[in-house]
């Protein structure tokens, strides 16, 4: 026996297909009908570019303004000091300071540097010789390393300047951290 096709099943199937096609086809919506969303492409698609602010070199460090810092230099032949008046925090997120590395023979190695916490990088702005600054124009930002003679920067970064548990510290708060007696191991 042959199956009989009922015309209403065929019409119902066509109707279902047409309905499905209407729902699946995107319908253009006029921009006039939309409510403002409160943002523009400028705010959502552009990546923010960081720019460092220009700054002046601080006065050359004086012995009376130096603060000895426990910077993990065991086994190395120098002591690390930070020049207290030189420590500043800029709106660009860079913390600038002058570090004095004093060798076991009493020779001063003086550097004015900056740490950028968000990028985990440092930059050297100048070095000191005979109580005078010698600027380093266009010195590059470099990735922090925690080894050897440069270990002090990583200690500054982790322990004093860029501690993630103390975000948005002022320069005064950072200096207070340097002045506290730190006994914890890194």
For residues 77, 186, 63 and 59, what is the CA-based torsion angle, rounded to 10 degrees? 120
Is residue 27, in this structure, part of any structural domain at all?
no
- The CATH code of the domain that includes 112 is 2.40.128
Q: Which domain holds residue 111?
A: 63-179
In angstroms, the CA 80 to CA 100 distance is 6
Is the pLDDT confidence value at 114 over 80?
A: yes
Tell me the C-alpha to C-alpha distance, in Å, between residue 158 and each of 11, 91, 136, 152. 74, 20, 26, 10
On the question of pLDDT at 108 being above 90, the answer is yes
Residue bearing the bigger pLDDT, 19 or 171: 171
Q: What percent of the chain has pLDDT over 90?
A: 36
Q: Which one has a higher pLDDT value, 83 or 164?
A: 83
pLDDT in tens, 24-79: 555 554 444 555 555 555 554 566 676 777 889 999 999 999 999 887 667 778 89
- Residue 29 falls within a domain, yes or no? no
In a domain, 93, yes or no: yes
- What is the pTM assigned to this prediction? 0.68
Tell whether 83 is covered by a domain: yes
Beta bridge partners of 59: none
Q: How many domains does the chain have?
A: 1
69 belongs to a structural domain = yes
Identify the H or E element spanning 123.
strand 121-129
Q: Is residue 131 part of a domain?
A: yes
The answer to whether residues 145 and 154 touch, using CB atoms and an 8 Å cutoff, is yes
């Amino acid at each position: 026996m042959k199956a009989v096709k009922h015309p209403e099943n065929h019409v119902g199937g066509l109707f279902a297909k047409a309905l499905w096609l209407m729902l699946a086809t995107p319908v253009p919506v006029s921009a006039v009908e939309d409510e403002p969303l409160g943002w523009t492409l400028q705010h959502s698609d552009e990546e923010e570019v960081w720019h460092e602010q220009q700054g002046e070199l601080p006065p050359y460090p004086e012995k009376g303004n130096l603060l000895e810092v426990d910077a993990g230099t065991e086994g190395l032949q120098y002591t690390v000091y930070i020049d207290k008046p030189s420590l500043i925090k800029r709106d660009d997120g860079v913390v600038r300071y002058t570090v004095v590395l004093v060798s076991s023979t009493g020779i001063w190695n003086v550097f004015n540097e900056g740490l950028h916490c968000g990028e985990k990088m440092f930059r050297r702005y100048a070095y000191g010789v005979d109580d005078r600054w010698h600027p380093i124009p266009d010195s590059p930002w470099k990735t922090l390393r925690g080894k050897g003679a440069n270990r002090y920067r990583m200690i500054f970064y982790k322990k004093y300047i860029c501690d993630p548990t103390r975000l948005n510290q002022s320069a005064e708060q950072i200096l207070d951290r340097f002045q506290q007696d730190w006994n914890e191991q890194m």
